[in-house]
Chain A
Amino acid sequence: MKAITWRGVNKTAVEAVDDPRILNSHDIILEVGLTATCGSDLHLLGGYIPAMRAGDVLGHEFMGTVAEVGSGVRKHKVGDRVVVCSFISCGRCWYCRNELWSLCDNGNPNPAITEGLWGSGVGGCYGYSHALGGFAGSHANYVRVPYADQGAFAIPDEVPDVRALFASDAAPTGWTGAHQAEVQPGDVVAVWGAGGVGQMAARASMLLGAERVVVIDRFENRLAQVAQHIGAETLDYTQTSVVAELKELTGGRGPDVCIEAVGMEAHSNDPSFLYDQVKQQLRLQTDRPTAVREAIYACRKGGTVFTLGVFAGLVDKFPLGAVMNKSLTLRGAQQHGHRYIPRILEGMRTGEIRTEHLATHTLPLEEGPKGYDLFKTKEDGCVRAVFQPNGGGRPS
């Protein structure tokens, strides 16, 4: 089969790769319908997560049709249309049973790497480096899905493929942030980042009852999507002071909940951006926490800051004094998607969650490198490049 692979820093290719096969009784083999680029892929592409090998298959946000089932699979059969959670989780350990699915004890065959980095192993993830298991990603004609009864979800007939696709990662990641940050009815929520995850965090906050939701970015087309498709307010940080705007908007308090959906390659107009970038390039820090700092500064006393963007290691100039003295709650998570995907698919069925607009560029698998270039440079208004490995999904 064909697959989009990581070839080195800022290099991808389309290569011939062996077809996957059933390795465990709980596996299915999925014929991939649609598979999306994700902002977190850019950290792999840029070499910021040094656990990739040349030839590794990319892609962790996908849906498709069941092509083969293992003997232990009970919920799915050949021909079923399913969306698959990006994280690989067993469903049987304490963490899975307590709805902390991305922390699964058994989903990562390489636990030593993340135990060394973070003190504990976390679950596996498709196409996201050997630190998260080394699993082949979904940018291919077929992909092996372990623990399929837990990780694959039947798509309601009324939901088109391109909407269901984002129930794999962007939407459940956004829901993880809003729900785990404990957004309450009446809250004011600020979201840093108007990419797919930020937009979904904003939408989840609204559906959880937030009274006002503000999304912060610099790209006009993304902020326009927020206004048109999500229904949240927007701030362009290149045109104004984010902290001043948020203080004014909240009667001087600051947002009750601040969700950071940017991650380790944050951009800023502030002089600290140059400082952070130099330190990151020299590996004196692994991540640029620009948006996190601003979120902590802007958050109201006693509020919650949630780091939803992907961070890998160490950051510098972290405002711990503000966290302590303002009595902030600081939380973070990869997506506990298995918990939220059923709710999201129902929202997609009723129309209260719409994601089609995120797929600004749909390309055949053979144009993988072009798709990643568009996505990385954000040219032509690219929000997400989506690949059709087998000729396309069901039209909306």
Chain B
Amino acid sequence: MKGGRLAAGVTVVAVVGGRLLVRQLRVARQPAMADGGRDRRRDTRWLAVTVDREPDQVASGGQLPEPLAALGDRIETRTRPAPGGKGTEVAARPRTPAASRDGSDRQELRAALRRAKQLIEVGEVLAADPILHGERTATPAGLALEAVTRRADREGVL
């Protein structure tokens, strides 16, 4: 009896927990959901990071670093000093907001901003793979998590 209740409880936790995870990850993908989906400028809003360096160290000679530079004319960018000596704000957005209906252009840009920041601040991008692990088992929550982590550097509220 106790084992049955426990198993049922674990199942409920797994299902509800999985739903919670999926919901929270949807918020991560579409941050506008966090404020009730009211962000009408979602497709044109600037994506931005603050880099802990002076403006001339961020865009030397007016040239942004890789991988932002590789996006060329597909994006527009702006930089400005962050208040309080917090470095330099680097903002970018696709020139054509509706270029990709699935949001992949903004995903690519988000990852590029994060990588550029790391390259400037640290000199290299922190490697995450391969992640060492034991045997993987195929569970719905696990597969959902794997799908999320595959694009976790391209999503978020950035």
Residues of A within 8 A of B18 (CB): 50
Q: Of residues 8 to 47 in A, which have CB atoms within 8 Å of B's CB atoms?
A: 8-9, 13, 15-18, 20, 23-26, 47
Q: Of residues 110 to 144 in A, which have CB atoms within 8 Å of B's CB atoms?
A: 110-113, 115-117, 119-121, 124, 130, 133-136, 140
The answer to whether A111 touches B133, judged by C-beta atoms less than 8 angstroms apart, is no
- Mask, B111-154, CB within 8 Å of A = 1, is 00010011001111011111111111101011001101101111
Q: A9-B14, A94-B87 are in contact. Are A53 and B118 (CB under 8 A)?
A: no
The answer to whether B132 touches A25, judged by C-beta atoms less than 8 angstroms apart, is no
- Number of A-B residue pairs, CB cutoff 8 Å, is 167
Residues of A within 8 A of B128 (CB): 109-110, 133-135
Which one of A47, A72, A106 contacts B117 once the chains associate, using CB atoms below 8 Å? A106
Q: A9-B14, A112-B153 are in contact. Are A18 and B130 (CB under 8 A)?
A: yes
Tell yes or no: B12 within 8 A of A by CB: yes
Stretch at the interface among A54-62, A256-264, A369-377, A384-392: A54-62
Tell yes or no: B21 within 8 A of A by CB: yes
Which one of A23, A56, A112, A140 contacts B151 once the chains associate, using CB atoms below 8 Å? A112
**Nearest-CB distance from A139 to chain B (Å)?**
11
Residues of A within 8 A of B118 (CB): 90, 106
- Mask, B63-92, CB within 8 Å of A = 1, is 000000000000000000000001100000
Tell yes or no: A97 within 8 A of B by CB: yes
**Residue in chain A with minimal CB distance to B107:** A112
Tell yes or no: A249 within 8 A of B by CB: no
Tell yes or no: A287 within 8 A of B by CB: no
The answer to whether A121 touches B156, judged by C-beta atoms less than 8 angstroms apart, is yes
The answer to whether B152 touches A111, judged by C-beta atoms less than 8 angstroms apart, is yes
The answer for the CA separation of A101 and B61 in the assembled complex, in Å, is: 32
Q: Which of B20, B29, B123, B126 has the most CB of A within 10 A?
A: B126
The answer to whether A136 touches B12, judged by C-beta atoms less than 8 angstroms apart, is no
The answer for the CA separation of A51 and B16 in the assembled complex, in Å, is: 13
Which one of B31, B52, B137, B149 contacts A93 once the chains associate, using CB atoms below 8 Å? B52
Residues of B within 8 A of A281 (CB): 9, 12-13
The answer to whether A115 touches B16, judged by C-beta atoms less than 8 angstroms apart, is no
Q: A110-B153, A112-B29, A119-B34 are in contact. Are A24 and B134 (CB under 8 A)?
A: no
Which one of A25, A72, A90, A115 contacts B156 once the chains associate, using CB atoms below 8 Å? A115
Tell yes or no: B155 within 8 A of A by CB: yes
Tell yes or no: B28 within 8 A of A by CB: yes
Tell yes or no: A92 within 8 A of B by CB: yes
The answer to whether B157 touches A119, judged by C-beta atoms less than 8 angstroms apart, is yes
Q: A18-B130, A92-B122, A136-B131 are in contact. Are A53 and B148 (CB under 8 A)?
A: no
The answer for the CA separation of A283 and B19 in the assembled complex, in Å, is: 10
Tell yes or no: B10 within 8 A of A by CB: yes
**Nearest-CB distance from B114 to chain A (Å)?**
7
Residues of A within 8 A of B157 (CB): 115-116, 119-120
**Residue in chain B with minimal CB distance to A143:** B132
The answer for the CA separation of A195 and B12 in the assembled complex, in Å, is: 30
Tell yes or no: A105 within 8 A of B by CB: yes
- How many residues of chain A get a CB closer than 8 Å to chain B's CBs? 56
The answer to whether B121 touches A93, judged by C-beta atoms less than 8 angstroms apart, is yes
Tell yes or no: B59 within 8 A of A by CB: no
Residues of A within 8 A of B103 (CB): none
The answer to whether B121 touches A51, judged by C-beta atoms less than 8 angstroms apart, is no
Tell yes or no: A165 within 8 A of B by CB: no
Q: Of residues 55 to 73 in A, which have CB atoms within 8 Å of B's CB atoms?
A: 55-57, 72
**Nearest-CB distance from B26 to chain A (Å)?**
8
The answer to whether A54 touches B131, judged by C-beta atoms less than 8 angstroms apart, is no
Tell yes or no: A5 within 8 A of B by CB: yes
The answer to whether A130 touches B145, judged by C-beta atoms less than 8 angstroms apart, is yes
The answer to whether A116 touches B136, judged by C-beta atoms less than 8 angstroms apart, is no
The answer to whether A53 touches B142, judged by C-beta atoms less than 8 angstroms apart, is yes
The answer to whether B132 touches A3, judged by C-beta atoms less than 8 angstroms apart, is yes
The answer to whether B153 touches A111, judged by C-beta atoms less than 8 angstroms apart, is yes
Residues of B within 8 A of A107 (CB): 126
Tell yes or no: A254 within 8 A of B by CB: no
The answer for the CA separation of A376 and B71 in the assembled complex, in Å, is: 51
The answer for the CA separation of A16 and B133 in the assembled complex, in Å, is: 8
**Nearest-CB distance from B21 to chain A (Å)?**
5
The answer to whether B16 touches A134, judged by C-beta atoms less than 8 angstroms apart, is no
Tell yes or no: A146 within 8 A of B by CB: yes
Could you list 7 A-B pairs, sorted by A, with CB under 8 Å? A8-B137, A53-B146, A55-B133, A115-B155, A116-B24, A116-B155, A281-B13
Interface residues of chain B, those whose CB is within 8 Å of chain A, are: 9-10, 12-14, 16-21, 24-29, 31, 34, 49-50, 52, 86-87, 114, 117-118, 121-124, 126-137, 139, 141-142, 145-146, 148-149, 151-158
